Structure formats: structure tokens, C-alpha cells
Structure 1
Amino acid sequence: MKRSLQLLALAPLLGCTDLLIKALGIGLCGLLVLPLCGLLLAPLRSRLHDNHLVLAALVIGGILASVAALTLQLLSTELAGALELFLPLLILPCLALALSDQNSALDGLRPALIFALVAVLLGALRELLGHGSLFAHADWLLGPAASGWHWSTGMPLLTHAAGGFILLGLLLALLRHFNQDDAR
């Protein structure tokens, strides 16, 4: 169950990593939300039972996701508009964090780093292979000087959510393959 919950925590990545800039945005928001959620959940673990801890994680995750959305709106309205449907899904990694067995205040840091790394990797691969560009809409995050970095070829399937599933599955299979080699 824990592994499937950890995979469910990657759900926000499937819809919003069709562009590297969007992946960077959701990754940065995950780097903000998950460590803060872990920090706020740490003192509650000894005081709350499992069901109440899950409810606390949902409330804390929802508040932090809203703060991340508002912060993103201040920085870039275009990027915030592109990610507005996916930012509330940052509650799922917070839920996985609440159900984990770890009790340290820094428990959210490792999942946040993994979340951001997978976001950037999926975003780069999906944009590069799907759109045939890299850093398209970079002006959303880096300003007008960064616009216009496009190529003309690509595989459009990889820009859709199904392509995200395909690439995520390939990356997980590759990771599993390397983990099996290390075990031998």
C-alpha cells in the first residue's frame, strides 16, 4: 500500500509536465509545500491518531498548496494559469507523507526533492520528444528575453497525459532495472 500511495503522490506530474517550464513550476511548488508539510506534521504525529493525522495533512496540504498558488500568481500569472488545475493535487504527496512511518521534521525534504527531480525529468523528456522544443514558454518564468527556443519536430503523443504515463512507466522500469543490478 505504501508504494502505491507514493506513486499516487506523483499524480500531479502527469498532467502538468508537458512543458519543462510547467514542470519547473510544479517542482518548485512541491519543494515549498512538502518540506513545510513535514515540518508542520512532525509535532502532530505524537498527539493525533492516524485518521486525525490524515485529516490534518489534508488541511495543511490544502493551505500550503493555496499559498504556493498565490505565490506563483505573484511571480508569473501565465505559469500560475497553466498550473492552476494541478496545484491542488499537491495534497496527494502531503497525504503520502502523513501515512509514512517516518517521524522527523525533515521527512518532507526527500520526497520533495524526488518530486521535483521527476517533474523536471518528465517535463524535459515530454517537451523535447513531444513538442520538439526545450524551454518553450520560458518567458513565463524567466521573462521575455527567454522566449523563442523552439525546434520543429516532435511526437505529439508524449505531450498528452497518456504520454506522461508512458514515460513515467519507462522511467520506473529503468529505475527498477538499475536497482535489481545493485542487489546482485
Structure 2
Amino acid sequence: MSELKTLAHEGLWKNNAALVQLLGLCPLLAVTSTVTNALGLGIATLLVLVGSNVTVSIVRNWVPKDIRIPVFVMIIAAFVTIIELLMNAYTFGLYQALGIFIPLIVTNCAIIGRAEAYASKNSPLLSAWDGVMMGLGFAAVLVILGAMRELIGQGTLFDGAELLLGEWATALRMAIIDFDNQFLVAILPPGAFLGLGLIIAGKNYFDERKKAKTQPVETEKAPRARVTNLT
């Protein structure tokens, strides 16, 4: 149980792939213009992470060390292909919106890194849990950044949710700020860099505050008075 808690804390906060390791930034910065795009890519990445971690853990004892990286990439590519075909069949609008960034999940260093650093050395159950937590941590950053950019850029949230969830999700769209024109800096990639920087700064701020509270307060020792005998 302690191992599961450690993996959850590592994936969601302490060792978050996007905020701490700064991995997978290409899709994170490119497609997070809306919450829908961010959520779609986050779910796809999570599913690939879990599937590849479990498969790598199962075959780890049969894969020679010299060719382990190519084998891991082939496993990841197989799961990315499955996810891509499913999105093409059931969420075609979102599939078109994400475009090339779905197959680019294969080159996501966060997925390859977890396969090499954890899944290749641990049991399938722990590897699956590691994939879930790392995927959720990455998806959370995607959704937060997407919400920031969509809200500041066009004043809405969950615009185009029907592309991911179906026609009923049209009712989820919220118009919060009425803009005459879109704020392009937030929608374009420079806004993603600024937003990600703010999220990382916020995480570092909370970490420093927590660290300051847990550290014991050092009390200054009073200097000893020296008495000299003048007689």
C-alpha cells in the first residue's frame, strides 16, 4: 500500500512528467488551446501509458537489454495505433483537431521513460498503477493549461465538448467572458509557454511553503557572558 501511495504522489505531484521532468512538451504546448483538445490528448496518453507499462512489465524477462529500447518503442507504437484507430472511428472531429499529435505520442519521452525506468523492473500491477498516476498527472496539467488558454483566449470553457463526448455534451459549453475578438496570444503557442510557466511557478511556490512549514525552526543560542576578574 505504501508503494501505491508513493507512486500516486510521484505521478500526480512530486515527479509530474510535465511540471518536474518537463517531458512531452510538444503536444502539451501545441494542442491545449481548449479543454476538449487537452482532455482528449490526456486520455489518449493515459491509455497508452497504462497499456505500454503493463506489456513492458510482462515481457521484461524475455527482452535482451541490447534491444530493449526498440522493443519498447514498438510496443508503444502498437498502442498508439490502436488509440488512433479508435479515435478515428468514434471521435472523428477530435481526431482531426489533434491531427499529427496523436501519432506523435509514440515519441513522448514520458512514456518511454516510464517503460525504461519503472515498468521494465516491476510487476504488471505496479506498472499499471504507475501508468495510471503518471497519465493522470500529465492529463491534469493538459486540462488546467487548456482551461487557462481557452478562458483567457476566447472566454469559454468546454467549447467543442461534443467532439469528444457526443452531441449531448453541447450543453457543457460555458460562455464566461464575452469577447469581441479572441485574445490570440493565449490561443497561440506563446500563450502555452506563459501558462505552463505560471503553473510550474505555482507548484514551486506551494512546494517551498510546505518545505518551510515542515522544517524545524532553529533557535539562536544566547551568547555566553564572559566575566573577567579585575582584582
Classify the TM-score, shorter chain: 0.7 to 0.9
For 1:157, which of 172, 176, 185 is the aligned residue?
185
Q: Secondary structure at the match of 1:8?
A: coil
Alpha-carbon offset, residue 51 of structure 1: 5.2
Alpha-carbon offset, residue 101 of structure 1: 4.5
Quote the residue 1:98 is aligned against: 115
Q: How does 1:9-48 map to 2 (within 5 A)?
A: 9-48=24-63
Q: TM-score, normalised by structure 2?
A: 0.70
Quote the residue 2:138 is aligned against: 115
Percent identity, aligned pairs only?
30
Distance 1:51 1:109, change over 3 A: farther
Gaps of 5+ in 1: none
For 2:149, which of 121, 126, 146 is the aligned residue?
126
CA distance in 2, matches of 1:182, 1:39: 34
- Bigger radius of gyration among the two: 2
Alpha-carbon offset, residue 180 of structure 1: 1.7
Q: Does the CA-based 8 Å contact 1:133-1:149 persist in structure 2?
A: yes
CA distance in 1, matches of 2:66, 2:50: 21
Quote the residue 2:209 is aligned against: 181
Distance 1:155 1:61, change over 3 A: same
Deviates further, 25-34 or 10-19: 10-19
Alpha-carbon offset, residue 132 of structure 1: 1.3
Q: Secondary structure at the match of 2:150?
A: helix
Distance 1:49 1:181, change over 3 A: farther
Q: Give a deviation string over 1:64-120, Cα, whole Å, max 9, x none.
A: 111111111122111011112111222213212133256332231221111111111
Alpha-carbon offset, residue 57 of structure 1: 2.1
Distance 1:110 1:158, change over 3 A: same
Quote the residue 2:158 is aligned against: 135
RMSD: 2.4
Gaps of 5+ in 2: 1-14, 213-231
